[in-house]
Every structure is written in structure tokens, then in C-alpha cells.
Amino acid sequence: MELNLFLRVLLRRWYCLILPVLVVGVGVAPDLLARPGAGGGYSASIRYTAAQVLDAIPNRDGDYQDVWLASELTVNAFTDWVLGSRFQAAIREKLAGQGIDIAPGTFSVSAENEKSVGKITLTSDDEAGLTAITAAAVEILQSTSSEIFPQLGGVAAQVELLDAPTLSAIPAPIASRLTPVIKLVLAAIVGVVLALALDYADPYLRRRAQLESSGVTVLSAVPRE
């Protein structure tokens, strides 16, 4: 019975439910209609390996194991270089020479490596800008390491990409994707509370149960039709 009365109140005050949902819906509509993944920006991955040019450093006795170890140490050094501010500055300078202005802080760089294989991840909100940033990063890796590491003997390390750099959209965080739905639910709850408050403040008696709850005995009722 109580549920029936509750539903009657909501049906009679239906506008109280709709108005808050409509007001909030106008604000969250762009987020609900946004293309999936666009809210999180874009990322590009560069997988590579690197090794010193042996002719550029003093000859020494060794075996193939020494060559692999030297490659691992080179990639380790590259990882540290990429994570520094000098690498990002070199990217911006190279793009500036191409007429592309990239402001500081508009992209981020992360890097890691497993033995002789390194991975660089670039992220940005600008898809076209990230494409140019990725191309510049590859060129800098392959051509300017001799300016950073004197151990290379003045010759840039040999850098080979293991696959073509891939660019993909980053899914928006789950919290941001649920935020519009949560706002709509809260708006509906506000509408329910508003409907109940208006019904409670209504001075008119509209139902037989209201009279009976006030201690008035109802002998008969006139039907609507």
C-alpha cells in the first residue's frame, strides 16, 4: 500500500522528476555523446634496440656476449636520456625548425627497457601534433645520441625500430565516463525528493486515505464519473 501511495505522488508530480533531469542532461549531453576514447588523449609507442658503432670506440678483446651487454647498457642509457627534459627540448626545437610550435607541457614522455629492447611512450591531447612529435623523437634517437654520450666516440649509436610507431586513442578514465550517469541519477533523486516535499506541503486533501489518517471517518465517496 505504501508503495502504491508513493507511486501516486510521483505520477501526480511528474514534472518534479523531469525538470532536474532535463537541466542536468543538457550539461552532460556532450560527455555522453563524445566518441569513446577521445577524452583520454592519444599515445604513441616506439619500440627499438640500439648498439654502439664498434669502429668508433677503441678496439678491445671480447666476444658476442660483450656485444649484447654493450647493447643493453646503451639502451639503458637511452632510457635515462629520454626521461630527461633535454630530450623533450630537442623535440620542440626540431619541430620549431619545421614551423610546428609545441608548447612545453603539451606532451609527456615515459620510457622503459627490457635488456636490449627499449620502449618509449609519448602522450598528447593533439593527434596531429603527436604524429609530428613521434617522427621527431625517432629522428633524434637515431641521429643525436653522440651529442649526449661521449662514450660513443663522436658517432651516433645505431638505432633500429622493431616495428612502426603506433598511435592510438587513450580511453577516458572510468570515473570520467561514469560522471555524467551519476549526475543524471542524482538529478532524478533530487526530483523524487522535490515531488515528496511538494506533496507534503500541499494543503489540499485529495485521497480518502488522507482523511482517514486525520481521524475522519469516511462513510461514502462520490466517484469521478
Q: Which CATH number goes with the domain that contains 159?
A: 3.30.70
For residue 133, the model assigns a pLDDT of 94
Question: Which range, of 10-14, 186-190, 211-215, averages the lowest pLDDT?
Answer: 211-215
Task: Please list, in sequence order, all residues whose beta carbon lies within 8 angstroms of the beta carbon of residue 6, skipping any fewer than 6 positions away.
Answer: none
Same domain, 46 and 65: yes
Same domain, 66 and 143: yes
Contact present, 26 and 147 (Cβ < 8 Å): no
Amino acid letter, residue 182? I
Of the candidates 134, 153, 169, which is a domain's last residue?
169
Same domain, 9 and 50: no
Q: What is the mean pLDDT of residues 40-65?
A: 75
Same domain, 186 and 134: no
**Pairing, β 107-114 against β 166-169:** unpaired
Q: What is the mean pLDDT of residues 100-121?
A: 91
Same domain, 207 and 143: no
Same domain, 162 and 58: yes
For residue 122, the model assigns a pLDDT of 94
Contact present, 80 and 119 (Cβ < 8 Å): no
Helix (H, G, I), strand (E, B) or coil at 158: strand
For residue 23, the model assigns a pLDDT of 87
Same domain, 78 and 158: yes
Same domain, 136 and 163: yes
* Number of separate domains in the chain: 2
**Pairing, β 117-124 against β 42-51:** antiparallel
Tens-place pLDDT, residues 71-97: 888 999 999 999 999 999 999 999 999
For residue 1, the model assigns a pLDDT of 44
Query: For all residues of the chain together, what is the average pLDDT?
Result: 82
Question: Which range, of 4-8, 19-23, 185-189, averages the lowest pLDDT?
Answer: 4-8
Contact present, 31 and 128 (Cβ < 8 Å): no
- H-helix or E-strand containing 58? none
Same domain, 47 and 29: no
Same domain, 49 and 142: yes
CB atoms within 10 A of CB 221: 9
- Better-scored residue on pLDDT, 141 or 53: 141
How many C-alpha atoms does 198 have within 13 Å on its Cβ side? Answer: 15
Same domain, 45 and 61: yes
Same domain, 126 and 192: no
What is each CA distance from 213 to 3, 22, 167, 205, in whole angstroms? 17, 36, 68, 11
Residue 218 forms part of a structural domain: no
Alpha-carbon dihedral 12, 15, 21, 22, rounded to 10 degrees:
150
Residue 161 forms part of a structural domain: yes
Contact present, 100 and 132 (Cβ < 8 Å): yes
Q: Rounded distance, CA 92 to CA 161, Å?
A: 21
What is the domain extent for residue 205? 2-34+174-213
Helix (H, G, I), strand (E, B) or coil at 99: coil
Residue 19 forms part of a structural domain: yes
For residue 34, the model assigns a pLDDT of 63
Residue 61 forms part of a structural domain: yes
Tens-place pLDDT, residues 147-192: 998 888 888 889 999 999 988 888 766 766 678 888 888 888 998 8
Q: Rounded distance, CA 112 to CA 166, Å?
A: 17
Residue 146 forms part of a structural domain: yes
Residue 100 forms part of a structural domain: yes
Residue 23 forms part of a structural domain: yes
